[in-house]
Copies of this chain bind each other. A is one copy, B any other.
């Protein structure tokens, strides 16, 4: 049903209830409906957005804590969740946008419609030959994170040994494919047989294993990397990181992208093998998309080319409807998603 500018319509929202500890539950959010007038204030620079796709990302869990690290802003209890998303401009007072534009950005609220005053973070989508949902994953923050972490930090060489954890996730699946394009040997870990099959048969990893079936991660890594690991792309932290440090090669690089295994713990797990950083002169770097935003145009060109040439494929896990958002987000931390978790609010 087309949205008619000027109408007052119902506006479904996913509301963050309150700060909590431990694993997120669906009941930490609720779905409600308010109303909104589909019009930007007369004479303002605002943009009225209709949300199409919402991104479920692990960092969102951190924003559900009362205390967050410097530089982050936690969610406001009683207000909608905020995350990356793709939207369509329905009405517009801003000279840089026009009605019908598709945009993506990090301040997408989990609701159907929203009038936005701060438009700096909105990026226009200029390519219509790929799924717009890709701007929550492959062509958005996760893709750029994989690309920047891998190309800017890892400075990998052909033939190097690369390990990726959470390898079928939004970022991991790309890291593995980038590594293969560079001629590396790539092994990924994931949490189910279905995901392991995806890694080996869809994404072209050289090998993959189900970490739930390995009671000794150190032994597993020694089996998959008898020569050791040159590059570890860390999406999980915790015991996997600890086992990896034992198996790194001299001058290895650890790209710390995420530590999803730790986000729901009151006390993070201690990493015991730090001395290997010294013994093997390992380089560990935390990184974020934000530090590499200037590379986005080059990244986008490269990725669009890869997609066209079928050099990169991408797996999405699509949840239908805003009301499916809480379950989809909670599912990230249970490993329920197969590929990038997206919530479809509307398709046009």
B286/A285 in contact, CB under 8 A: no
Q: Which residue of B lies closest to A274 (CB)?
A: B271
Interface residues of chain A: helix, strand, loop or mixed (majority): loop
Does A283 belong to the interface (CB within 8 Å)?
yes
The contact string, 1 if C-beta is below 8 Å from chain B, for chain A 248-292, is 001100001111001000011111111111111111111110010
Does A237 belong to the interface (CB within 8 Å)?
yes
Q: A270-B269, A270-B270, A281-B291 are in contact. Are A262 and B286 (CB under 8 A)?
A: no
Q: Which of B69, B257, B269 contacts A279 (CB 8 A)?
A: B69
A250 proximity list for chain B (CB < 8 A): 70-71
B281/A273 in contact, CB under 8 A: no
The contact string, 1 if C-beta is below 8 Å from chain B, for chain A 294-318, is 0000000000000000000000000
CB distance from A133 to the nearest CB of B (A): 26
A-B contact pairs, 18 of them (CB 8 A): A69-B275, A69-B279, A69-B280, A70-B250, A71-B250, A71-B280, A237-B274, A257-B278, A259-B275, A262-B274, A268-B272, A269-B272, A270-B270, A270-B271, A271-B274, A278-B286, A278-B288, A279-B286
Q: Give me the 6 closest cross-chain CB pairs, A-B, nearest first.
A: A270-B270, A284-B284, A277-B286, A278-B286, A69-B279, A281-B286
Does A72 belong to the interface (CB within 8 Å)?
yes
Complex Cα spacing A275 to B285, Å: 11
Q: Which residue of B lies closest to A234 (CB)?
A: B278
B291/A278 in contact, CB under 8 A: no
Q: A270-B272, A272-B268 are in contact. Are A288 and B284 (CB under 8 A)?
A: no
Complex Cα spacing A256 to B69, Å: 23
A237/B288 in contact, CB under 8 A: no
A279/B71 in contact, CB under 8 A: yes
CB distance from A59 to the nearest CB of B (A): 9
Does A174 belong to the interface (CB within 8 Å)?
no
Q: Which residue of B lies closest to A250 (CB)?
A: B71
B288/A281 in contact, CB under 8 A: yes
A277/B284 in contact, CB under 8 A: yes
